[in-house]
């Protein structure tokens, strides 16, 4: 026997010893390798535990030798999904528009309700499977109610309403981009303060991106609609310019609110998202009651309701989404499964 019997053992289990967090982990490994109380005597130890403690003391910790690259971001691929969401949300409003253009028999509330139900279905389908059913239902109803006010309730011009609905695709893209950035910073930041510092500019950038995308979509929709209407070009720019500022402001405010709700929802703050939807709807209702003009009052009520809610929600969401706990992985981390106890 050599002067240092443990040396061979150390070489054989070097990787385990370097990555061990406690001597018991080495003891478990040694036992798996067939070293029991009898064999430990060969290494001049009374039992496996003291042998493991010697190994733990002799080998410097080097966790760098360990595997586990940071987990891949599940939010990396977002464009296909965002396109799908845009198309799905645009379909009901386009269908409604086409139905009204063709002058179908039922111009009453039935068609609008059907469109709202379709929107609720789409919202429920795209809300993500990981949330409880009751919350998904609330979310779908809230989003559908807000969109139905715009699309079917005559809140906005049909082209703008369709643009707003399909703008949810852009919102989806922005929310996923936000999560993706947050995911990266979770693996880079060393403290919560540093994480907050890193995340601070991300939400304004996401909002800016979304609002520009929404404006572009609206512009395109308006141009397309006027081109369709007049069949011959020339009046496109005029038609776009002819849309008044209130409509644009309503469009942007409603869109911003939907983006914030979606962000909160995707970041796992489902109750905040539901509360925001509820606030917004009641604010719209209050504004409608205050303005008291049935026909053209809807855009104004939407503008006031959504605008005030969004103005309150934006700083709140900014503060809340800076926190690391808003950036949890969708799938909860699980304890490693142990081998079945053999019943």
Question: Under a CB-based contact definition with an 8 Å cutoff, are residues 337 and 319 in contact?
Answer: no
CA proximity to 214, closest of 167, 173, 269, 171: 167
Residue 147: Cβ within 10 Å count = 27
* Calpha distance 218→216 (Å, rounded): 5
* Calpha distance 204→59 (Å, rounded): 49
Q: Is 190 helix (H, G, I), strand (E, B) or coil?
A: coil
Left if phi > 0, otherwise alpha if psi is -120 to 50, otherwise beta: which for 259? Answer: alpha
* Calpha distance 147→254 (Å, rounded): 9
Residue 114: Cβ within 10 Å count = 16
Work out how close the CB of 62 gets to other proteins at its nearest, in angstroms, rounded to a whole number. Answer: 8
Question: Under a CB-based contact definition with an 8 Å cutoff, are residues 261 and 220 in contact?
Answer: no
Question: Under a CB-based contact definition with an 8 Å cutoff, are residues 139 and 122 in contact?
Answer: no
Q: Which long-range contacts (CB under 8 A, 24 or more apart) does 133-141 make?
A: 135/270, 135/271, 135/274, 138/274, 138/277, 139/265, 139/270, 139/273, 139/274, 139/277
Question: Under a CB-based contact definition with an 8 Å cutoff, are residues 62 and 18 in contact?
Answer: yes
Where on the chain is the footprint of other proteins (CB under 8 A)? 16, 19, 21-22, 24-25, 27-29, 31-34, 36-38, 47-49, 61, 63-64, 66, 68, 70-71, 132, 134-135, 185-192, 194-195, 271, 323-325, 327-328, 332-339, 341-343
Question: Under a CB-based contact definition with an 8 Å cutoff, are residues 168 and 262 in contact?
Answer: yes
């Amino acid at each position: 026997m050599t002067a240092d019997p443990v040396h061979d053992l150390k070489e054989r289990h070097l990787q385990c010893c370097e990555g061990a967090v406690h001597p018991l982990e080495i003891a478990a490994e040694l036992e798996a390798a067939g070293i029991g109380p009898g064999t430990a005597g060969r290494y001049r130890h009374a039992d496996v535990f003291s042998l493991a403690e010697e190994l733990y003391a002799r080998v410097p910790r080097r966790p760098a030798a360990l595997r586990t690259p940071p987990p891949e971001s599940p939010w990396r691929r977002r464009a296909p999904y965002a396109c799908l969401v845009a198309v799905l949300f645009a379909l009901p409003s386009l269908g409604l528009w086409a139905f009204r253009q063709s002058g179908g028999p039922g111009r009453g509330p039935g068609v609008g309700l059907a469109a709202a139900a379709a929107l609720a279905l789409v919202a429920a389908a795209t809300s993500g499977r990981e949330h409880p059913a009751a919350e998904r239902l609330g979310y779908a109803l809230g989003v559908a109610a807000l969109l139905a006010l715009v699309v079917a309730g005559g809140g906005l011009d049909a082209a703008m309403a369709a643009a707003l609905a399909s703008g949810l695709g852009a919102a989806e893209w922005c929310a996923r981009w936000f999560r993706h950035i947050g995911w990266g910073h979770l693996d880079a930041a060393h403290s919560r303060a540093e994480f907050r510092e890193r995340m601070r500019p991300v939400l304004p950038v996401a909002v800016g991106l979304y609002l520009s995308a929404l404006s572009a979509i609206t512009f395109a929709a308006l141009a397309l609609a006027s081109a369709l209407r007049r069949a011959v070009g020339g009046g496109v720019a005029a038609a776009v310019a002819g849309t008044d500022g209130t409509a644009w402001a309503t469009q942007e405010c409603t869109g911003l609110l939907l983006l914030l709700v979606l962000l909160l929802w995707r970041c796992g703050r489902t109750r905040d998202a539901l509360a925001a939807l509820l606030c917004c709807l009641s604010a719209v209702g209050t504004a409608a009651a205050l303005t008291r003009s049935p026909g053209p009052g809807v855009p104004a009520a939407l503008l006031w309701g959504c605008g005030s809610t969004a103005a309150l929600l934006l700083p709140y969401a900014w503060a809340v989404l800076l926190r690391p706990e808003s950036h949890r992985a969708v799938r909860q981390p699980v304890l490693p499964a142990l081998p079945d106890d053999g019943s």
